[in-house]
Amino acid sequence: MRCHEVGELLSALLDGELSSSEEQDLLRHVQVCPVCSQEFRDLQRLEDMMSKVCLPDLPDAAWEEHWSCLYNKLERRIGYLFAGIGITLLLIYGFFELLHMWFLNPAVSLLLKMSIGILGVGLIILCISTSREKLLSRRYDRYKELVR
């Protein structure tokens, strides 16, 4: 066994994941190689320290705050969902009203119809572009869970 193979197997040895023949090969190398022996002792010491680490239970106030935040987030998301549905329905209604009152009305000049039409198309493209960018940047934001 060579040194570069040992490094990968040491933690497997400490976790008891090696077969007895692999374990014997590894221990044989560790006994004769001072570098791997030192690494093995360091790893044993680290594992020993980690086994003694005791994480305290969260106090009840922290749990209450956690559930309160969760409830507030859920509440806000439901609010955004309903507001979004309402705005969408209003936009659809407004679109059909505009279509009926302006675009199908022969008294309104063609230039005004075209201007409003182009403005509407531009606003729709801007809304779609902004929404898509916001969604994509939110999805790949590594710090979105960070509380500031």
Binding site for Zn ion (CB under 5 A): 3, 33, 36
Cβ nearer to Zn ion, comparing 31 with 137: 31
Cβ closest to Zn ion, residue 41 vs residue 76: 41
Nearest in space to 94 (alpha carbons), one of 125, 110, 116, 68: 116
Phi-psi region of 59 (alpha: psi -120 to 50; beta: other; left: phi over 0): beta
CB of 42 to Zn ion, least distance (A): 13
Residue type at position 40 = F
Sign for the pseudo-dihedral over CA of 97, 101, 103, 109: negative
What would you measure as the largest C-alpha separation in the chain, in angstroms?
Answer: 99
Shorter beta-carbon distance to Zn ion: residue 35 or 114:
35
In whole angstroms, the minimum distance from the beta carbon of 50 to Zn ion comes to: 24
Taking the complex as a whole, the smallest distance from the CB of residue 36 to Zn ion amounts, in Å, to: 3
Among residues 7 and 122, whose Cβ is nearest to Zn ion? 7
One-letter amino acid at 50 equals M
User: Shortest gap between Cβ of 19 and Zn ion (angstroms)?
Assistant: 20
Residue with tokens 């400490």: 14
Minimal distance, residue 33 CB to Zn ion, in Å = 3
Q: Which of 65, 68, 80, 7 is nearest to 40 (CA)?
A: 7
Closer residue to Zn ion (CB): 16 or 34? 34
